[in-house]
Amino acid sequence: MIILALNCGSSSLKYQLYDYSKKELLAKGIVERIGLEDPIISQESDKNKCKDIDVSIKDHTTAIKAMVKLLTDKEQGVIDDMSSISAVGHRVVHGGDKFTQSVKLTKEIIDTIRSLSYLAPLHNPANIDGIDAAMSILPNIDHIAIFDTAFHQSIPEKAFRYAVPISWYEDEKVRRYGFHGTSHLYISKRSAKLLGKEAKDCNLIILHIGNGVSVTAIENGLSVDTSMGMTPLEGAIMGTRSGDLDPAIPLFIEKRLKLSSDEVDSILNKESGLLAITGKYSDRRDIENNLETDKSCKLALEMECYRLKKYIGMYMAVLGRVDAIIFTAGVGENSGLIRELSVSGLENYGIKIDQAKNIGIFSKHGETELSTKESTIKIFMIPTNEEIVFIEDVVGVLNSKDTNHMKFDYSFK
Ligand code: ADP
């Protein structure tokens, strides 16, 4: 069974082609600069790495056609024709409070996703463009939506509500939704496995630290709080996003610098975070490489880890009992320094990291326990695998299974 996974952004389309029966990635690729000058499509497979720059890609439909051409190309492709694909999974960023699990796309479901576009104006319209285009090119197979927000729909009202006028919530749906759901889902199941327990018996704090960062509190297997909010801007300090700040600051800056709200929004999302503190770097490797010579890099590292530690403390208070703290995603898997600094000083709470071991552990080492024997709370590094959640959800929905994550039989759980 071959499954195509699509992740459509406003000017890019990422895709992966999986052979589910063989549990094998056949190819992955990206179409960049859709609708702009000099679009480019690149694809990697066991066979080869290839690029096609001599293409005209004006919208998502032409992007998908270019992808189809490359996937089925006689020399560079990996399948003979698109009829071998059984289903398409679409990543959808915002499911609002309408979707608690993955679903088959119908006209009604697409209309609902469209109606949520005001909550994620940069993401949902692009996701829908991708869905429309893929459905018109591959009309005879099932298309399934996988939501970034679905896993967090178990968060209780006291944690998802903001203390703002009730009409903001009731009419405008202003509330916490949370993101990185497939990653937190995967990590929660793998942690349970490493702890030798059922997911329903595990209390966890998961730190997904990539360019975007989210920390989630898991109680009895369910997300009960998460650091990202109505949008992915809230919470930890990120590569280019500010994370938490006094809500009066954007209004103050808007007035003082005579900026539009769109300009402020763009600055907080794209020009803040570590990039703003260092003035040049959002990549943690650059920051770590310049710690000795650049004071702003030292400060950026301290600020990032201080904020992460505050979230750990907060979620320990939320959970009462914590079985494990888990680091994942690009930074969480690879930066021993950020892991160490985020939990340093928490020894009295039973959190003790094995410093010597931790510093030499990277993603390539696979799932690793980083805590000492004396640590009452385990610390793990677990490489995330959002794709497997994606693919298994697609197959689950295709087979009419209930993909509610507490009931669904994921292969990795
Ligand atoms: P996203 O999916 O949010 O774009 P990733 O999870 O791929 O992000 O993580 C990207 C981040 O991982 C980058 O900031 C990069 O610097 C960081 N990273 C990758 N390898 C290392 C490493 N060895 N040390 C520190 N950071 C690393």
pLDDT digits (tens, 9 = 90+) for 303-337: 999 999 999 999 999 999 999 999 999 999 999 99
Which whole number is the average pLDDT over 183-190?
98
For a mutational test of ligand 1's pocket, the pick from 123, 180, 282, 285, i.e. the residue with the most ligand atoms closer than 8 A to its C-beta, is: 285
- Please indicate, yes or no, if residue 190 is contained in any of the structural domains: no
pLDDT for 37 equals 87
Domain membership of residue 55 (yes or no) is yes
CA distances from 321 to 152, 169, 202, 357 (A): 20, 31, 9, 25
Query: Is residue 35 in some structural domain?
Result: yes
Q: CB of 183 closer than 6 A to ligand 1?
A: no
Instruction: Provide mean pLDDT across the span 334-341.
Output: 98
How far, in Å, CA of 143 to CA of 256, rounded?
48
Same domain, yes or no, for 205 and 345? yes
- Residues 130, 243, single domain; the answer is no
- Per the domain annotation, does 76 fall within a domain? yes
Q: Which domain, by its residues, includes 112?
A: 2-147
Residue 391 lies in a domain: no
Measuring CA to CA, which residue among 44, 34, 28 is closest to residue 9? 34
Query: Which percentage of the chain shows pLDDT scores above 90?
Result: 93
Query: What average pLDDT does the segment 120-138 reach?
Result: 93
Distance 23 CA to ligand 1 centre (A): 25
Predicted local distance difference test score (pLDDT) of residue 53? 67
Residues 278 and 337 in one domain: yes
From 53-57, 95-99, 209-213, 252-256, the region with the lowest mean pLDDT: 53-57
Residue 396 Cα to ligand 1 midpoint, Å, equals: 31
Q: Which of 370, 407, 412, 355 is nearest to 389 (CA)?
A: 412
Boundary (domain end) residue, out of 87, 112, 147 = 147
Residues 233 and 362 in one domain: yes
**Claim to verify: residue 58 and residue 205 sit in the same structural domain:** no
Residue 245 has pLDDT above 80, yes or no: yes
Domain match, 313 and 244 both? yes
User: Are 133 and 212 members of one domain?
Assistant: no
Within a domain: 389: no
Q: What is the CATH number of the domain that holds 243?
A: 3.30.420.40
**Shared-domain flag, residues 139 and 211:** no
In this structure, the answer to whether residues 116 and 227 fall within a common structural domain is no
Query: Once rounded to an integer, what is the mean pLDDT over residues 24-40?
Result: 91
pLDDT for res 47: 75
Whether ligand 1 lies within 6 angstroms of the CB of 336 is answered as no
284 ligand 1 Cβ < 6 A: yes
Domain closes at, from 147, 171, 205: 147
Closest CA to 272 of 293, 291, 230, 300: 300
* Whether 254 and 375 share a structural domain: yes
The pLDDT of residue 54 is 63
What is the Cα–Cα distance from 26 to 308, expressed in whole angstroms?
37
Q: Are residues 225 and 88 in the same domain?
A: no
Interacting residues of 162 by C-beta distance below 8 A, sequence separation 6+: 168, 169, 174, 175, 176, 229, 230
The total domain count for the chain is 2
Report yes or no on 173 lying in a domain. no
Q: Are residues 209 and 298 in the same domain?
A: yes
- Residue 285 Cα to ligand 1 midpoint, Å, equals 8
| Residue 125: inside a domain | yes
The mean pLDDT value for 355-371 works out to 98
State which of 187, 215, 334 you would mutate to test the pocket of ligand 1, scoring each by most atoms of that ligand within 8 A of its C-beta. 334
